[in-house]
């Protein structure tokens, strides 16, 4: 087992609590499913939101998922680069896995697919 980073990103249409929580949960669920990891394998999850999102802490969306209460979470505001993708939620999941780095599946959903076209639908 090695500790590997798995990236994810997605977008929401509004700075609204329910939308942020739902999109964060969906993104994490896809990361977990595509990489076949479970909460016990996860060392920590770091979440950022673009500066135009502040209606809630996205970590709350993760903590309410079954099995995720003990996983250390941290949220922060993404770097406010002019012209960067708006209303974007990003994840960095640190997971213990036997997967080779070349088989780690990073997940870019919705409008965030444009961030890394090289990693989309891999």
* DSSP, residue by residue, 50-104: -TT--SS-THHHHHTSTT-TTS-EEEEEPP--TTPPSSEEEEEEEEEE---GGG-
Contact 58, 64 (CB under 8 A): no
Catalytic annotation present for 75: yes
Binding ligand ISJ (rule: CB under 6 A), the pick from 6, 9, 32, 45 is 9
Region 73-112 residues binding ligand ISJ, contact defined as CB under 6 A? 78-79, 90
Which of these is catalytic: 63, 99, 105, 113? 63
Residues engaged in binding ligand ISJ (CB under 6 A):
9, 78-79, 90, 115-116
Q: Which residues are catalytic?
A: 7, 63, 75, 78, 90, 108, 116
């Amino acid at each position: 087992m090695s500790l590997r980073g798995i990236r994810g990103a997605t977008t929401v249409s509004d700075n609204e609590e329910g939308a942020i929580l739902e999109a964060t949960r969906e993104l994490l669920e896809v990361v977990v499913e595509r990489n076949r990891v479970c909460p016990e394998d996860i060392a920590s999850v770091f979440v950022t939101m673009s500066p135009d999102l502040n209606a809630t802490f996205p970590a709350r969306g993760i903590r309410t998922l079954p099995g995720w209460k003990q996983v250390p979470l941290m949220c922060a505001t993404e770097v406010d680069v002019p012209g960067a993708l708006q209303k974007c939620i990003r994840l960095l999941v640190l997971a213990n896995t036997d997967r080779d780095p070349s088989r780690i599946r990073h997940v870019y959903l919705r409008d965030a697919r444009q961030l890394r076209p090289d990693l989309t639908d891999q």
